[in-house]
C-alpha cells in the first residue's frame, strides 16, 4: 500500500503502519509536494476574479495528501524513531520548509488573497470564513509576502537552517537520554525505592542482559529514583546526568545550536519588521505582546515567591533535622519533599498506586468523557499500529455516530522521546458535505507492567493521562469546516485550557469513585485517601508555581530580546533564573540545551501559556464546582463554545460565550493556596 494513497483501504481510513515502507517516505514527500504545487498553480492561473471560494477556500484544501503523509511520518519520528527515520527527517524538513516558503512568498497567490481580503467588508462571510480569510492574509503578510526578492531569499535560507537545527536539537536529546545508564549491583543502593521501582529496574537490566538493576533517564525510571532513593551520591549522579543533556561539549552538545536558533529567530523577526521573535509570535496569541506576558509572569511571581521561599525554608530545616543536610541541593528536592509530604499528610504515592491501575485510569477518563460529553469508547483490534503497545478505540456519540478514532501509546522505549503529548494523524474538516472525523493520539511514558504487577500509575501520572486526554477531546470533538481552524488549532495560550481543566476531576470524589479501585481487591479508594489527595494538592504550590514561572521567564529571556550579544548559554540562563532561584546553581547542568519545548517543539515565546491557561482552567472549573461536577448544561456549553469551535473565533470571545464573563485570577490563587 503506497503512502501516497492517503485514502487508505483500511478501517476508517486509518494509517496502514505495518504496510508502510520507511524508504518510501522521501519519494512520497517529493511527489506530494509536487502535487500540492500543482494545486497552487491552479489557483494562481485562474483567470476568474478572485473570490473567497476560488482563492481562500481553494487554498485551504490544497496539500491534503502532503499534510496526511507529514502527520504520519513526524509522529513516527517522535514515538517510534530510528536512524533511518531520523536521516529521512533531516532530508525532508528542508523540502517542507522550502515548499512552505514557496507558498508564503508566492506573489501571484498573495495578490489574489489580498484582493479578497480588501473586499472583506462587502462579503457576506460567516464567523469561520471571516477568521479563515484573516488567517490566510496574515499567513502571507507575517511570513514575508511583502518583502523584496533578496529579503525573500534570505528568509528561505533562515527557515531551511532553522528546520534542520531544531531536528538536530531533538535528536541529540534522545541520543543523550538513551546513552546514559546507571547500573546498580549492590542491593543496598536501592534502599528507599518502592518494590515496583526495584522490579522495573531489574526488568530493564534483564532486557539488556546486565546483572543488577538498571536506572535510566526515562521518566518512569528517573523520577522514582530521585523521589525515593536514600543514596544521596547516586541521586546526585543521576541528577547531574539528567541536567547535562546537550551540555557536555561533545558531538551531542546543543549549546551552539541554542545560540544559532535564537539568533536566527531574531533575525527572521527583524526581517519581517518585528522587534523580536516574541513580538512576532505573540501578535497571534491571547497575550498579544511580550510586555503582557512579562507583566503576567512577574505578577504571579510576586504572589508565589514569598510562599515558595517559606516552603523552601521548611524543606531545608526538615532535611537538616532528618539527615543533617547542611545545604539542600537540587537532587534532594524530590526526596525530601516526598518525606515531608508523608509526614504532613501521612501518605505517599506508593499508597495511592494500587488504586491507579493504568487500564482503570483509562476507563475512568472514558467515563468522565461519557458523563460530560456523552461519548462512548470501544476498543478495536482491527486498526493497524506502529507498535504492539499502542491501543486503538472507536469513539461514538450517544447516537452511535462516529466521533473519532483514538490511539493511546503509554510506555517508554528506545525510539520514543520522553514526556507526554497529544497529536493527530488526520484532522477533522467538512468537504463535499462529508464531515471527516479525526484520528487522534496520546503518547505518554508511564511505568511498564512487570512480571508480577500491572502498570500502576503515580498520581502525577494519573493527572498527566487526564491532561493529554483533555487535549485529545479537543481534537476529537472538533466540528469546523476548515482543517486549519479545527481542534487544537487555536491560539497557543488557549490550547492548554481543555487539557488542564480535565486534571481537576482527578481530585474529586465523584470522579475518583468511577475508576480508583484497588487492582487486587477491587475496593474503591478510601475517603481518607481522597481527603489526603485534596489536602496535599496545595503542598509546595509556591515552589511548583515558581518552577513553572522560571521556565516561562527563561523562554522570554531567549526570545524577547536581541540575543546576538549572548556568548555563553549557561551564563545567560543563570541570569534568567536569578529571580526564581531557590537551590544552589549546578555548574555542570544547563536546562536550555535540553529545553525541547522551546527549541524543538512549538513553545518558543509560549511557555508562559501553561500558567496563562491555568488561570482559565481554574476559573472554568470553579463554574462547574459552583453548580455540579458533571452539570450537563455547563458541559454542553464547554463542548459547544470551547471544544468544538477550534480556532474559528477569538479565544477570549469563545471563553466569554462559555463562562458569561472574562476569566479571573483569584480561582487559581485560591486553588493553589496562594491567596492570603
Q: At 557, give phi and psi (nearest 5°).
A: -70, -30
74, 189: one domain: no
pLDDT attached to residue 676: 65
Q: Per-residue pLDDT averaged across 460-469, rounded?
A: 97
Model confidence pLDDT, tens digit, residues 154-174 = 999 999 999 999 999 999 999
141, 188: one domain: no
Calpha distance 603→598 (Å, rounded):
5
Active-site hit among 468, 496, 573, 622: 468
pLDDT attached to residue 601: 85
Q: Per-residue pLDDT averaged across 659-665, rounded?
A: 95
Model confidence pLDDT, tens digit, residues 26-46 = 999 999 999 999 999 999 999
**Could you tell me if residue 15 is inside a domain?**
yes
Model confidence pLDDT, tens digit, residues 375-391 = 999 999 999 999 999 99
pLDDT attached to residue 5: 67
Instruction: Judge whether 53 counts as a catalytic residue.
Output: no
516, 384: one domain: yes
pLDDT attached to residue 192: 97
Calpha distance 622→651 (Å, rounded):
19
CATH number of the domain encompassing residue 439: 1.10.1370.40
Q: Report whether 586 contacts 333 (CB < 8 A).
A: no
Model confidence pLDDT, tens digit, residues 176-207 = 999 999 999 999 999 999 999 999 999 999 99
SS3 (DSSP) at 208: coil
Calpha distance 647→497 (Å, rounded):
13
pLDDT attached to residue 4: 62
**Could you tell me if residue 584 is inside a domain?**
no
Q: Per-residue pLDDT averaged across 269-286, rounded?
A: 97
Give Cα separations from 595 to 61, 170, 465, 569, 570 (angstroms). Answer: 34, 9, 22, 12, 13
122, 65: one domain: yes
Q: Per-residue pLDDT averaged across 311-327, rounded?
A: 97
- Looking at 537, 553, 586, the residue that finishes a domain is 537
120, 234: one domain: no
113, 226: one domain: no
**Could you tell me if residue 518 is inside a domain?**
yes
Calpha distance 183→5 (Å, rounded):
47
Would you tell me the crossing angle of helices 358-373 and 459-476 to the nearest 10 degrees? Answer: 40
How far, in whole angstroms, is CA 297 from its chain's centroid?
A: 20
**Could you tell me if residue 307 is inside a domain?**
no
Q: Per-residue pLDDT averaged across 525-533, rounded?
A: 91
86, 219: one domain: no
SS3 (DSSP) at 455: coil
494, 399: one domain: yes
**Could you tell me if residue 213 is inside a domain?**
yes
Listed in sequence order, the residues at least 6 apart from 250 whose beta carbon sits closer than 8 Å to its beta carbon are none
Interior CA angle at 421 toward 420 and 425, to 5°? 140
Better pLDDT: 133 or 9? 133
414, 528: one domain: yes
- Expressed as residue numbers, the domain containing 114 is 11-104+106-146
pLDDT attached to residue 602: 87
How many of the other CB atoms lie within 10 Å of CB of 363?
15
Q: Provide the 8-state DSSP code for 321.
A: H
Read off the pLDDT band of 567 (50, 70, 90). Answer: very high
142, 189: one domain: no
130, 229: one domain: no
Read off the pLDDT band of 348 (50, 70, 90). Answer: confident
**Could you tell me if residue 419 is inside a domain?**
yes
**Could you tell me if residue 323 is inside a domain?**
no
SS3 (DSSP) at 129: helix
pLDDT attached to residue 350: 87
pLDDT attached to residue 7: 79
Using DSSP bridges, classify how beta strands 391-396 and 429-431 pair: parallel, antiparallel or unpaired.
unpaired
- Looking at 537, 569, 589, the residue that finishes a domain is 537
**Could you tell me if residue 658 is inside a domain?**
no
Average of per-residue pLDDT values in the chain: 96
Q: Per-residue pLDDT averaged across 231-256, rounded?
A: 98
204, 91: one domain: no
Single out the residue of 67, 72, 94 nearest to residue 85, CA to CA. 72
- Looking at 480, 511, 537, the residue that finishes a domain is 537
> Which cell numbers hold the place of 167?
531536528
pLDDT attached to residue 545: 97
Number of domains in the chain: 3
Amino acid at each position: 500500500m503506497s503512502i501516497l494513497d492517503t485514502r487508505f483501504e483500511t478501517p476508517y481510513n486509518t494509517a496502514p503502519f505495518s504496510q508502510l515502507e520507511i524508504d518510501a517516505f522521501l519519494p512520497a514527500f517529493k511527489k506530494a509536494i509536487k502535487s500540492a504545487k500543482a494545486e497552487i498553480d491552479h489557483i494562481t492561473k485562474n483567470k476568474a476574479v478572485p473570490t473567497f471560494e476560488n482563492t481562500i477556500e481553494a487554498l485551504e484544501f490544497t496539500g491534503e495528501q502532503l499534510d496526511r503523509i507529514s502527520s504520519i511520518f513526524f509522529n513516527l519520528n517522535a514515538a517510534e524513531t530510528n536512524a533511518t527515520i531520523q536521516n529521512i527527517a533531516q532530508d525532508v524538513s528542508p523540502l517542507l520548509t522550502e515548499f512552505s516558503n514557496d507558498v508564503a512568498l508566492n506573489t501571484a497567490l498573495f495578490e489574489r488573497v489580498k484582493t479578497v481580503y480588501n473586499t472583506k467588508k462587502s462579503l457576506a462571510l460567516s464567523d469561520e470564513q471571516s477568521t479563515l480569510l484573516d488567517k490566510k492574509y496574515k499567513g502571507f503578510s507575517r511570513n514575508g509576502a511583502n518583502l523584496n526578492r533578496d529579503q525573500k531569499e534570505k528568509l528561505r535560507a533562515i527557515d531551511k537552517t532553522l528546520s534542520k537545527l531544531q531536528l538536530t536539537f531533538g535528536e541529540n536529546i534522545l541520543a543523550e537520554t538513551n546513552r546514559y545508564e546507571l547500573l546498580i549491583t549492590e542491593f543496598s543502593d536501592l534502599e528507599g525505592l518502592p518494590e515496583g521501582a526495584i522490579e522495573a529496574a531489574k526488568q530493564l537490566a534483564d532486557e539488556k542482559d546486565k546483572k543488577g538493576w538498571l536506572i535510566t533517564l526515562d521518566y518512569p525510571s528517573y523520577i522514582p529514583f530521585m523521589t525515593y532513593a536514600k543514596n544521596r551520591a547516586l541521586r546526585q549522579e543521576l541528577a547531574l546526568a539528567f541536567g547535562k543533556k546537550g551540555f557536555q561539549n561533545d558531538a551531542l552538545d546543543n549549546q551552539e545550536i541554542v545560540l544559532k536558533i535564537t539568533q536566527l529567530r531574531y533575525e527572521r523577526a527583524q526581517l519581517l519588521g518585528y522587534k523580536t521573535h516574541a513580538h512576532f509570535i505573540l501578535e497571534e496569541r491571547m497575550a498579544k505582546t511580550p510586555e503582557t506576558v512579562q507583566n503576567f509572569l512577574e505578577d504571579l511571581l510576586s504572589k508565589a515567591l514569598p510562599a515558595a521561599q517559606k516552603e523552601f525554608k521548611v524543606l531545608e530545616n526538615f532535611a537538616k533535622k532528618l539527615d543533617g543536610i547542611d545545604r539542600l541541593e537540587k537532587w534532594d528536592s524530590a526526596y525530601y519533599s516526598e518525606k515531608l509530604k508523608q509526614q504532613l499528610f501521612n501518605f505517599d504515592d506508593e499508597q495511592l498506586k494500587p488504586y491507579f491501575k493504568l487500564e482503570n485510569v483509562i476507563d475512568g477518563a472514558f467515563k468522565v468523557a461519557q458523563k460530560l460529553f456523552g461519548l462512548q469508547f470501544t476498543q478495536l483490534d482491527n486498526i493497524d499500529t506502529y507498535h504492539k503497545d499502542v491501543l486503538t478505540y472507536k469513539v461514538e456519540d450517544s447516537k452511535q455516530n462516529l466521533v473519532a478514532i483514538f490511539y493511546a501509546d503509554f510506555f517508554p522505549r528506545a525510539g520514543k522521546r520522553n514526556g507526554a503529548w497529544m497529536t493527530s494523524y488526520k484532522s477533522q474538516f467538512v468537504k463535499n458535505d462529508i464531515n471527516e472525523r479525526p484520528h487522534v493520539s496520546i503518547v505518554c511514558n508511564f511505568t511498564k507492567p512487570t512480571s508480577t504487577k500491572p502498570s500502576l500509575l503515580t498520581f502525577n501520572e494519573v493527572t498527566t493521562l487526564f491532561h493529554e486526554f483533555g487535549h485529545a477531546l479537543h481534537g476529537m470533538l472538533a466540528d469546523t469546516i476548515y482543517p486549519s481552524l479545527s481542534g487544537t488549532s487555536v491560539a497557543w495560550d488557549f490550547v492548554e485550557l481543555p487539557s488542564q481543566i480535565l486534571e481537576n476531576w482527578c481530585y474529586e470524589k465523584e470522579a475518583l469513585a468511577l475508576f480508583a479501585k484497588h487492582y487486587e481487591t477491587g475496593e474503591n479508594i478510601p475517603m481518607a485517601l481522597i481527603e489526603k489527595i485534596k489536602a496535599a494538592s496545595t503542598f509546595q504550590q509556591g515552589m511548583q508555581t515558581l518552577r513553572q514561572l522560571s521556565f516561562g521567564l527563561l523562554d522570554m529571556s531567549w526570545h524577547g530580546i536581541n540575543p546576538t550579544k549572548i556568548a555563553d548559554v549557561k551564563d545567560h540562563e543563570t541570569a534568567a533564573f536569578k529571580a526564581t532561584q531557590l537551590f544552589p546553581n549546578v555548574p555542570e547542568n544547563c536546562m536550555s540545551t535540553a529545553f525541547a519545548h522551546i527549541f524543538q517543539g512549538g513553545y518558543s515565546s509560549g511557555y508562559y501559556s501553561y500558567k496563562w491557561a491555568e488561570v482559565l482552567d481554574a476559573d472554568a472549573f470553579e463554574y462547574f464546582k459552583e453548580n455540579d461536577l458533571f452539570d450537563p448544561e455547563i458541559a454542553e456549553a464547554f463542548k459547544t463554545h470551547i471544544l468544538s469551535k477550534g480556532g474559528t473565533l477569538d479565544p477570549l470571545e469563545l471563553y466569554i460565550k462559555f463562562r458569561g464573563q472574562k476569566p479571573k485570577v483569584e480561582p487559581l490563587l485560591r486553588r493553589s493556596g496562594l491567596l492570603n
